[in-house]
A and B are shown apart, each in its own frame.
Chain A
Amino acid sequence: MTTNTRAASYTTGSNHTPTIQFPAEHAHRSNGLPDVPNAIIECTNVNVYYNDFRAVTGVDLAFGSKEITALIGPSGCGKSTLLRSLNRMNDLIDGARVEGTVTFQGEDIYHKEVDAIEVRRRIGMVFQKPNPFPKSIYDNIAYGPRVIGMKASNMDDLVEEALTRAALWTEVKDKLKQSAFGLSGGQQQRLCIARTIAVKPDVILMDEPCSSLDPIATSRIEDLMYELREDYTIIIVTHNMQQAARVADRTAFFTALASEESGDRTGLLVEFDRTKKIFESPADQRTEDYISGRFG
């Protein structure tokens, strides 16, 4: 059902080094999206540029609602770039430009009548490095609801709910007025997740959320993601393949390809499928090489 037939077309025979021949027709592909039932975000032929440099080429992807989708791949394969283009965080980078269509609940998020602010309210983001605001724990959570003018009858309840959902409430309930900077790295990251769910988004993007955390803190975040999956769609970029295998329902494997003429590297989607399939019987040789640790 979800077997990705497109993935096979990216393979060029037995040649599976990272610098294989650049498939020239690929940039213009616009054939069918991967078969993901109940998709909430869909990318069709997405190219992301930084000025003249094309960081991501021709991505067709769909993210299932209330699923965890992992984006994996070696450094420079454009997975973080793609992630940031899903809630228009790329708008903040000078010279960044997205071609193709990204739809959220069927609407093109790059349409000129769409406000990026509204997109980000619906699609929240957790960053690589925990980035709590220089405020109290309470104010970190209350900030989002306040700025978007959420009608919260009781802010205290909202803060408690968000912190409870982020599995942080018992640890911080006695020091809500203290600075968020006093928390450990793992707690700070859970605070950032709590802050994101306080504005009740539909989708949470996570850009390597555990890369600066120790294994125990990482496992707590993973447990948390699994619980949040009941209500939220989560898209996570990770360098950690075990993490993808543990938490994700579906996994997209990206690689970096060097163009033959210019030598510029660009990110390319190699294979997208159920996580189990990706890790147990990948269709593409490059996926298998990557997950078995032969490159990247």
Chain B
Amino acid sequence: MTLLTTGLGAHIRSASIRGKVQGGEHSARSVLFLIALWLCLFVAFGVLLTLIITTLIDGSSRLDSRLVTEYPASAPERAGFRPAILGSIWVIGVTAVLTIPLGVAAAVHLEEFADRTKWFNRVIELNVQNLAAVPSIVYGLLALGFLALLGVQNKNIVIGGALALGLLVLPVIIISTREALRAVPLEIRQGSLALGATPLQTVWRQTLPASIPGIATGAILGLSRALGEAAPLLILGALVFVSFDPNGLLSGYTTMPIQIFNWTSRPQAEFHELASAGSILLLLILLAMNGLAIFIRNRYQQRW
């Protein structure tokens, strides 16, 4: 009260705080801006929705068990995605086995051990960030060159595809692992080291376990991107007629996006329906993978 009566009081207006503020939430400009934002959202969402609905309509007639049990055939009514699904599982599985340990190890080195003042570490960091933005077909070309260098004649093999997709996924895994490691507070590392743990024990028993949810989320999102990729595998010659189940690292294969691509380029409408049905299946798998990533993040993420 004394403050109000001495000096400060003179600046306090007695008018009511009700009413509209100029440029406030309900001004014409604000409302216009809000409408523009909604319009952008509507366009983006509308396009996506149209795409999904038309695919659903086209493919609904072929959404049955034959889709996953039958092999590709010249007659569309007898054809299915079985080898393509198995091929996708093989390629993505091998990609995961190749890239997750490598990516996590690279991230741990960069984040926990590398001396950031050294120029080559900074170069590596810059490169990893840039690699995440490289068009996927470039990785296909790289893998092609690598296999040719090794003298591999038939490049349509599971390990070749996994190599190309691995290059694609690796930067994603490295970046998300680094972010997960960075989210672990310094106090945890200090607490561990103050007990006489070595830096390696600290990483292995504290930092890395605490960042597993973040790593898992990043890895799943990276792999789901790879699952939808066709371009690098096309370069490697995966656009072939496969009527057998892939059964090893050196087995021939085709994947779902490639089988879809294959069938959409056929003239018969039935093949287009089959491709739409395959797209729905692929969408469902991707949705499930993304859902799993979100679930892991929400369920296991450590809040510090």
A binds B: yes
Contacting A117 at CB < 8 Å: which of B188, B196, B205? B196
Collect the chain A residues with CB atoms within 8 Å of residue B195's CB: 120-121, 124, 143-144, 147-148, 195-196, 199
Collect the chain A residues with CB atoms within 8 Å of residue B116's CB: 94
A115 to chain B, nearest CB (A): 9
- Produce 1/0 per residue, A110-140, CB < 8 A to B: 0000000110110011010101111000000
Q: In chain A, what residue has the closest Cβ to B198?
A: A117
Bound form: Cα–Cα A258–B182 in Å = 36
Q: In chain B, what residue has the closest Cβ to A132?
A: B191
Q: In chain B, what residue has the closest Cβ to A198?
A: B195
Decide: A196 near B194, CB < 8 A? Known: A143-B205, A147-B201: yes
Q: In chain A, what residue has the closest Cβ to B206?
A: A133
Residue count of chain A within 8 Å CB distance of chain B: 24
Interface residues in A172-217 (C-beta closer than 8 Å to B): 192, 195-196, 199
On whether the beta carbons of B188 and A134 are closer than 8 Å, the reply is yes
Interface residues in B189-210 (C-beta closer than 8 Å to A): 189-198, 201, 205-206, 210
Collect the chain B residues with CB atoms within 8 Å of residue A92's CB: 189-190, 193
Indicate whether B185 reaches chain A with its CB closer than 8 angstroms. Answer: yes
Inter-chain contact total with CB atoms closer than 8 Å: 66
Main secondary structure of the interface of B (DSSP, over half): helix
Indicate whether B302 reaches chain A with its CB closer than 8 angstroms. Answer: yes
On whether the beta carbons of A118 and B196 are closer than 8 Å, the reply is yes
Bound form: Cα–Cα A129–B186 in Å = 11
- Produce 1/0 per residue, A131-166, CB < 8 A to B: 111100000000110011000000000000000000
- Categorize the interface residue count of chain B: 20 to 34
Collect the chain B residues with CB atoms within 8 Å of residue A118's CB: 196
Decide: A120 near B193, CB < 8 A? Known: A134-B210, A143-B205: yes
Q: Which of B190, B197, B198, B210 has the most CB of A within 10 A?
A: B197
Listed by A's residue number, 28 A-B pairs whose Cβ atoms lie within 8 Å are: A87-B194, A89-B190, A89-B193, A89-B194, A92-B193, A94-B117, A117-B197, A120-B193, A120-B196, A121-B195, A121-B196, A125-B190, A125-B194, A127-B190, A127-B191, A127-B194, A131-B185, A131-B187, A133-B188, A133-B191, A133-B206, A143-B192, A143-B205, A144-B195, A147-B196, A147-B201, A147-B205, A192-B191
